[in-house]
Amino acid sequence: MIEAKNLTKRYGNHTAVNQLDLLIQPGEVFALLGQNGAGKTTTINLFLGFTEPSEGVALINGLSVADQPQEIKRYLAYIPETVMLYPNLTGIENLAYFSSLAGFAYTPEELGSLLSATGLQAQAFNQRLSAYSKGMRQKVGIAIAVAKKAKALLLDEPTSGLDPKASSEFSEIIQTRAANGTAILMTTHDIFRAKEVASRIGIMKEGVLQSILDADTISANELESLYLKTV
């Protein structure tokens, strides 16, 4: 569902992503660890089509992101570190608007059910986004992804700035989406959250994917030790 083949991005003499090969299947959560400047966000941007590759190809559901940018939007949803929604609209209005852009028309009851499924409290549905916490905005972002029936979900530092409770709630939502068959690529600095949520974990340094680990076969302490040695 999410695939990179020899994916490379250069900016002048600097190689931000270097010959990345990656395959993420439906139902899998892949967590990409690395320091700032390791190439994580550039990788996300290549899959989104925000930047063109210097070499190689990024694929969503077998479609080239660079060659078929409109088609891949049918399968793809993106949640950045700070979810960009309309602050003067309510949670349910934002959900209705963004799902309509994707060609879906939901009843108010269906919109409420989508928001409830993310754990957002009913009393918040009709509050303006300007009154939402970051965790609440993230839940609306997830609801939009579900409403779009996205098969691939890209998350860039989604738990950054969340308190422990909100971060834990967000992780549970991500695992639920994966259990429903969504392929998920998540960049993060949070080693322990990556271990908790991911099926596989990659460690990136200077644009190179240094290692890929099965989350079930490594402890959080072992992962931390390997990460520190790598970066």
Look at residue 165 in the predicted model and tell me its pLDDT.
Answer: 83
Look at residue 119 in the predicted model and tell me its pLDDT.
Answer: 87
Domain ranges of the chain: 1-75+151-231, 82-150
The token pair that represents 62 in the structure block:
């077998």
Determine the Cα–Cα distance for residues 136 and 134; give it in Å rounded to an integer: 5
Handedness of CA 102, 104, 107, 110 (dihedral sign): negative
Q: Rounded to 5 degrees, what angle do the CA atoms 62, 173, 128 make?
A: 105
Amino acid code (one letter) for 148: K
Look at residue 2 in the predicted model and tell me its pLDDT.
Answer: 97
Look at residue 85 in the predicted model and tell me its pLDDT.
Answer: 93
The helix or strand, by DSSP H or E, that contains position 210, with its residue range, turns out to be strand 208-214
Alpha helices, DSSP H, located in the chain: 40-48, 69-72, 91-101, 108-117, 134-147, 164-179, 191-197, 220-230
Look at residue 99 in the predicted model and tell me its pLDDT.
Answer: 92
The residues facing 9 across adjacent strands are: 17
Q: pLDDT tens digits, the chain, 231 residues: what are they?
A: 999 999 999 999 999 999 999 999 999 999 999 988 899 999 999 999 999 999 999 999 999 999 999 899 889 999 888 888 999 999 999 999 999 988 899 999 999 999 998 889 999 999 999 999 988 998 999 999 999 989 999 999 888 877 888 888 888 888 999 999 999 999 998 888 899 899 999 999 999 999 999 999 998 888 989 988 887
Amino acid code (one letter) for 32: L
Options 3.40.50.1820, 3.40.50.920, 3.40.50.300, 3.40.50.720; CATH of 1-75+151-231? 3.40.50.300
The residues facing 29 across adjacent strands are: 184
In sequence order, what DSSP letters do the residues of 192-209 get, joined into one string? HHHHHH-SEEEEEETTEE
Write down the residue that tokens 């259990």 correspond to: 179
Half-sphere exposure of 51 (CA within 13 A, CB side): 18
Determine the Cα–Cα distance for residues 174 and 139; give it in Å rounded to an integer: 10
Does the model's pTM come out above 0.85?
yes
